[in-house]
């Protein structure tokens, strides 16, 4: 089985696995810079208008945000278990955990959709008729929509990746010892990591 | 030197025993950060929330993203981004926090409140 997972330029599966993870980390480093730019913009504006940002952050739905954080943290658990059980050759556990990870990912997007619908209803979209008086509160919500939408896009890509791996593992067209399971896991955990920082910045600011 | 760590768990029980405690810690930290958000900590509120986020992120990176494994190549690649994010934040805030209107005549300050002296104390 490990022979089938080994590809041409590498002499051992260990090397191949390290190369796959290294490539993923370099990609994730560029992703970190991408999110860091938006977060630095958020930080600068929050320093300039602390009261407006606190008032705006109080308008977000902390219940939905907390539920989604719990969902994502748990999906990271099942993804980690899926990657490790693929490595150990445990087919059934791998398939179940990949499936559960997809279910959690879809649940996250569903909750996010409910939250977006509520935000639109409460006139929290920057522009004419915005709910709050302070002009800078609209800047907070510009960052809110940008960051959560880009994060949801990453979630969708992650769901496609995990779905593909689940189908391949199910059909048996990808051996379980393939480094792809750990590589997809790294991406999934990164999307979780981004949310871990978005949660306090967007939902918990200005609560006390 | 085991490179990519060959001591991988081989049974379902061993895998769960390794991952479940990390998840439990993450959920506990989530509860802590939610609870502390409603405690009036003043200027330490943001620092506390971000500090807990850093701990959660550290747990995810170390245990779920396998940075615990002694592989210098992966650790180096993972820390490079953080290194440059530090530069990004330091250089940006070296500008933002030290600006004052009189020192830059003609600059329109993007501020909706009365001018405060630039003491560098207004951060978060």
- Per-residue pLDDT at B105: 54
How far apart, in whole angstroms, are the C-alpha atoms of residue B54 and residue A198?
12
- Per-residue pLDDT at A5: 81
- Per-residue pLDDT at B2: 40
- Per-residue pLDDT at A51: 92
pLDDT top residue among B1 and B72: B72
For residue B82 the two structure tokens come to: 């953080």
- The answer as to whether B97 is a domain residue is no
Percent of chain A at pLDDT exceeding 90: 88
- Per-residue pLDDT at B1: 35
- The answer as to whether B120 is a domain residue is no
How far apart, in whole angstroms, are the C-alpha atoms of residue A104 and residue A195?
14
Per-residue 3-state assignment (H helix, E strand, C coil) for A8-70: CCCCCHHHHHHHHHHHHHHHHHHHHHHHHHHHHHHHHHHHHCHHHHHHHHCCCCHHHHHHHHH
Confidence grade of residue A23 (pLDDT, cut at 50, 70, 90): very high
Q: Please report, for chain A, the start and end positions of each structural domain, with discontinuous segments joined by +.
A: 10-204
- Per-residue pLDDT at A44: 92
- Per-residue pLDDT at B3: 44
Each residue's pLDDT tens digit, B14-26:
999 999 999 999 9
How far apart, in whole angstroms, are the C-alpha atoms of residue B42 and residue A156?
37
- The answer as to whether B2 is a domain residue is no
Measuring CA to CA, which residue among A53, A204, A66, A69 is closest to residue B51?
A204
**Contact flag A22-B78 (C-beta cutoff 8 Å):** no
Most confident of A41-50, A92-101, B98-107: A92-101
Please tell me which of the candidates A33, A62, A76 has its beta carbon nearest to residue B60: A76
For residue B49 the two structure tokens come to: 């929330």
- The answer as to whether B48 is a domain residue is yes
Average pLDDT, chain A: 94
Window 71-100 of B, Cβ < 8 Å to A: 71, 73-74, 77-78, 80-82, 84-85, 88-89, 92-93, 96-97
Prediction ipTM score? 0.93
- The answer as to whether B5 is a domain residue is no
- The answer as to whether B57 is a domain residue is yes
Mean pLDDT of B36-64: 95
- The answer as to whether B3 is a domain residue is no
Does the beta carbon of B18 lie under 8 angstroms from any beta carbon of chain A?
A: yes
What kind of architecture, by CATH, is found in domain A10-204?
A: Up-down Bundle (1.20)
Residue A66 has pLDDT above 70, yes or no: yes
Each residue's pLDDT tens digit, A145-162:
999 999 999 999 999 999
Total structural domains in chain B? 1
Confidence grade of residue A190 (pLDDT, cut at 50, 70, 90): very high
Confidence grade of residue A90 (pLDDT, cut at 50, 70, 90): very high
Does the beta carbon of B19 lie under 8 angstroms from any beta carbon of chain A?
A: yes
Q: Which domain holds residue B33?
A: 12-70
What DSSP string runs through B50-98? HHHHHHHHHHIIIIIS-TTS--HHHHHHHHHHHHHHHHHHHHHHHHHTT
- Per-residue pLDDT at B117: 59
């Amino acid at each position: 089985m490990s022979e089938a997972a080994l590809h041409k330029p590498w002499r051992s599966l260990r090397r191949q696995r390290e190369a796959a993870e290294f490539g993923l980390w370099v990609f994730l480093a560029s992703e970190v810079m991408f999110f860091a730019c938006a977060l630095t913009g958020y930080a600068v504006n929050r320093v300039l208008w602390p009261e407006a940002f606190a008032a705006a952050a109080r308008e977000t739905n902390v219940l939905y945000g907390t539920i989604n954080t719990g969902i994502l943290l748990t999906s990271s658990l099942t993804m980690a278990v899926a990657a490790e059980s693929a490595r150990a050759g445990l087919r059934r556990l791998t398939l179940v955990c990949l499936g559960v990870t997809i279910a959690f990912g879809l649940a996250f997007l569903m909750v996010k959709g409910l939250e977006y619908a509520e935000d639109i209803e409460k006139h929290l979209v920057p522009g004419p008729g915005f709910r709050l008086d302070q002009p800078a509160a609209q800047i907070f919500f510009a960052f809110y929509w940008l960051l959560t939408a880009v994060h949801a896009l990453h979630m969708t890509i992650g769901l496609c990746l995990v779905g593909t791996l689940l189908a391949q593992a199910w059909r048996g067209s990808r051996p379980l010892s393939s480094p792809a399971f750990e590589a997809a896991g790294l991406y999934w955990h990164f999307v979780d990591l981004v949310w871990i920082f978005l949660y306090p910045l967007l939902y918990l600011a200005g609560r006390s | 030197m085991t490179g990519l760590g060959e001591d991988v768990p081989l049974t379902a029980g061993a895998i769960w025993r390794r991952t479940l405690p990390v998840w439990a810690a993450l959920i506990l930290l989530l509860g802590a950060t939610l609870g502390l958000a409603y405690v009036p900590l003043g200027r330490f509120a943001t620092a506390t929330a971000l500090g807990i986020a850093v701990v959660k992120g550290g747990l995810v990176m170390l245990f779920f993203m396998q940075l615990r494994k002694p592989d210098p190549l992966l650790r180096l690649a993972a820390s490079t981004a953080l290194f440059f994010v530090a530069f990004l934040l330091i250089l940006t805030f070296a500008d933002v926090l030290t600006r004052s209107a009189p020192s830059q005549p003609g600059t329109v300050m993007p501020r909706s409140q009365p001018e405060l002296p630039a003491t560098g104390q207004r951060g978060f």
